[in-house]
Amino acid sequence: MTMSAVVMRKGGLELIETPIPRPGPGDVLVKTLANGICGSDLHAVTHGAELVDGFRAVTGADPFDLNGQVVLGHEFCAEVVENGPGTRGTHAPGTRVVSAPFLLREPQPVLLGFGGVDTPGGYADYMLLSEDLLIPVPDEVPTDTAALTEPLAVALHAVNRGSLGSDDVPVVIGCGPIGLAVIAVLRMRGIGPIIAADFSPARRAMAATLGADIVVDPRETSPYDSWRSVAAVSDPARFGRQTVSFPGFGFRPSVVFECVGVPGVIQQILGGAAPCTKVVVAGLCMEQDTFYPTFGVLKEIDLVFSISYTLEEFGQAIGHLAAGELRVDPLITSRIGLAEVPDAFARLADPEQDAKIIITPNAR
């Protein structure tokens, strides 16, 4: 038996037929129902060598084989088809599930979405998942929405890394899918007002839809001026952390989320942000970057970096969707089949066309 899959090889994408993988001990064979295209998928195709080099430099391992056939896709909702040997049969065939994109194998887990045709990601009709990581999707959560669990977990982790208090005023720089998801999480937690900035009119409109209170085009309005307009307070008890360089700074605390991942943005934030701001870097920059430490030192800015999530945060993300606390359906702007994936990658280069594209592999 064979299945269709889109494989990445040497910077290109190709639709192929390949054998359906067979579940090993602890594995569950699932049919892919929906899979989101992630920015890291785009990076893997367009900047694969840089991604591999950076990953190897940090971890000592390669995330994928540049010359092999890689089946992308780590934002998925799937349906149980067959419980493999050694499983408990916890989830009956037909059950919709999500999972953190890892396949529990020895000596180390497989990172799904960056493996080969034997351990494919969601750009394929079928996948293998680990029974121990499966989370059933509640009936009230649509399949396409369930596929957003993974990027929402990324955003939830970024917001958690920010450790925001109830009186903090957040600024989101960059309204791509992760920036938009961060806005949705902030809105869910009642933190605001939320300032968002992006050059794209379509993304600014989406940011407002998902809960941003003030949305600016940074070519025309500084997001940091907008922050000052709403964060100023007269009650010293509400002042953010004070420093000797900026005594009596009469503003609420500030947290800035960098969701762009382009060289120069961190320095722009250090230059524009208020003293004692916490900056959460969630954008994945594929190039070397530079900034002036003096800006951060004199302002006593906290700079933290964020990627991925914990398994607990992943479970919380699907829980928030099930409870109706995270309303993110507007993020989905297109639905496509496997044959349309190469065209979708080209469309995603234009922020005016799409935010999140969902692949439905088994739709024919």
152: left (phi over 0), alpha (psi -120 to 50) or beta: alpha
Model pTM score: 0.95
pLDDT attached to residue 336: 96
**Whether the predicted pLDDT of 363 surpasses 80:** no
State yes or no: pLDDT of 30 exceeds 80: yes
CB-based contact 171:224 (threshold 8 Å): yes
Residue of 46 and 343 predicted with greater confidence: 343
For the record, the structure tokens of 217 come out as 């085009």
Amino acid in position 73:
G
- The string of pLDDT tens digits covering residues 66-123 is 888 999 999 999 999 999 999 999 999 999 999 999 999 988 899 999 999 999 999 9
Q: Is the pLDDT of residue 234 over 70?
A: yes
What are the chain's domains? 2-148+328-359 (3.90.180.10), 152-305 (3.40.50.720)
Q: What is the pLDDT of residues 145-196, one digit of tens each?
A: 999 999 999 999 999 999 999 999 999 999 999 999 999 999 999 999 999 9
- Count of other CB atoms within 10 angstroms of residue 56: 12
What pLDDT was estimated at residue 364?
Answer: 56
Residue 343 neighbours by CB distance under 10 Å = 12
Most confident of 281-290, 308-317, 348-357: 308-317
- Read off the pLDDT of each residue in 7-28 and give the average, rounded to a whole number: 94
